[in-house]
Structures are given as C-alpha cells and as structure tokens.
C-alpha cells in the first residue's frame, strides 16, 4: 500500500456499497456479527453525500433457485439504511464479485475514480471477493472493518467458527495485501 489514507481520500474516492440487502439478515443464515454495520454504512453514506463525492451501489440479484436474494423476493430489497439516492449508480450482479458480469470497472474508469472505500455484506463472501478484485484491477481500496459483517460458518471438517472469528481472520488476510483497513469513526474524522 504505497498511499496513506489521507492521500486516498479525495474528491473522486467512491463509496462502494455492496449487497446491503434484507435477505442477508434472514435468520436462516445463522448468527451474524457486528449489528452496527448498517448504522455505520448510513453514517458514511451521509458523509459522502454531504461532500457530493461519488456513491456506487452493488446489488446481488441471484439466479440460484433457492437464494433469498432472487429478484422479486423481499430479501432482494436493499435495507433502509443503504437505499440509493436519486442519481447514484446501482450495478446488479449475479456472482460474488462486483466486477464480474457488470460494467462497474468501465464506469469507475470513465468517472476517473481510482480509489474506493468499501462497505457492505458479507465480509468473507462478496466483500472479500470484490476488494480482492478491485485491488488486482489497480484500484486503491480502503475497507471499513466495522461497516461489514458475516455469519457463523461450519467447515467441510465440521468445525464451527463464530461470525466474529470469520470476520476478523478475513480482514487480516485482506489487510495490507489488498487494502487498508479503517473504522467508521476514524474515517469520518479524516473526512472532516
């Protein structure tokens, strides 16, 4: 990471809001960590809008038969805290990566956006995949650790890990290699 956070936060730094959809809070997905993620995302959205910096939304539109995030189902709807405002770009995707099967990469280049602040759900699936691919495509990425969350998961060997363990280890694997890490309040302070 050659740049300091202050260098990355500029007029053309986009807030990329990934998959903050109702279906990802369905009880069937099990225990989730960080209940404050949505509140933090709302604070960051308000800050970006106040500065008139770019906000880009990504919405998962699953094509899998049993997914809660299929278009038309209530779980596909974006949560209240992350509703797109008029004029903000919204990209629909069918895979974990915000960059596969979407025009997001072209859009960012066209808008001369070179750095991204990433928030959304879930830490280890769509967030990790999108952060990795954004970095490998040449974007500078800040991931807001307390504006993302995930669920308890069980491995192929039957060992169960808590959502918080999964979340923390996934952040460690991204940190430095693919992104810088920030927390909502420190990021808001940098913005002011």
Q: Which is nearer to a second copy, 47 or 100 (CB)?
A: 100
Neighbours of 48 (CB within 10 A): 20
CA atoms within 13 A on the CB side of 51: 19
Among residues 53, 76, 125, 141, the one that binds a second copy under rule CB under 8 A: 125
Q: Which is nearer to a second copy, 59 or 132 (CB)?
A: 132
When asked if residue 173 is in the footprint of a second copy (CB under 8 A), the reply is: yes
When asked if residue 172 is in the footprint of a second copy (CB under 8 A), the reply is: yes
When asked if residue 67 is in the footprint of a second copy (CB under 8 A), the reply is: no
Task: Please name the residue that has the structure tokens 């940098």.
Answer: 190
H-type helices in the chain, by residue range? 5-8, 37-51, 104-110, 128-136, 163-174, 184-191
* Burial (0-12, 13-18, 19+ Cβ within 10 Å), 88: middle
Q: Which is nearer to a second copy, 45 or 119 (CB)?
A: 119
Contacts with a second copy, 131-170, as mask; x by CB under 8 A? -xx-xxx-------x-------xxxx--x-x---xx-xxx
| SS3 label, residue 117 | strand
Q: Which is nearer to a second copy, 83 or 162 (CB)?
A: 162
When asked if residue 34 is in the footprint of a second copy (CB under 8 A), the reply is: no
In the complex, minimum distance from the CB of residue 172 to a second copy, in angstroms, rounded to a whole number: 4
In the complex, minimum distance from the CB of residue 171 to a second copy, in angstroms, rounded to a whole number: 6
When asked if residue 63 is in the footprint of a second copy (CB under 8 A), the reply is: no
| Cα separation, 47 vs 60, whole angstroms | 24
DSSP structural state of residue 158: S
Which residue stretch of 30-38, 41-49, 51-59, 120-128 sits at the interface with a second copy (rule: CB under 8 A)? 120-128
Does residue 82 contact residue 57 with C-beta atoms inside 8 Å?
Answer: yes
| Cα separation, 180 vs 6, whole angstroms | 11
Note the residues at the interface with a second copy (CB under 8 A).
Answer: 95-97, 100, 124-125, 128-129, 132-133, 135-137, 145, 153-156, 159, 161, 165-166, 168-173, 175-178, 180-181
């Amino acid at each position: 990471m050659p740049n300091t956070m202050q260098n990355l936060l500029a007029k053309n730094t986009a807030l990329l809001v990934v998959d903050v959809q109702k279906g990802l809070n369905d009880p069937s997905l099990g225990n989730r960590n960080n209940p404050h993620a949505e509140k933090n995302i709302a604070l960051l959205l308000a800050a970006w809008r106040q500065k008139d910096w770019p906000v880009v939304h990504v919405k998962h539109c699953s094509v899998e038969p049993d997914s809660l995030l299929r278009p038309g189902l209530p779980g596909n709807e974006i949560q209240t805290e992350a509703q797109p405002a008029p004029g903000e770009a919204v990209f629909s995707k069918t895979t974990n990566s915000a960059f596969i099967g979407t025009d997001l990469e072209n859009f960012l280049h066209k808008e001369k956006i070179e750095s991204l602040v990433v928030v959304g759900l879930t830490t280890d699936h769509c967030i990790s995949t999108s952060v990795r691919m954004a970095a490998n495509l040449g974007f500078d990425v800040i991931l807001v650790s307390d504006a993302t969350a995930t669920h308890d998961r069980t491995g192929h060997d039957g060992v169960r890990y808590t959502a918080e363990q999964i979340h923390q280890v996934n952040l460690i694997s991204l940190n430095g290699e693919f992104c810088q890490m920030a927390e909502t309040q420190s990021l808001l302070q940098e913005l002011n």
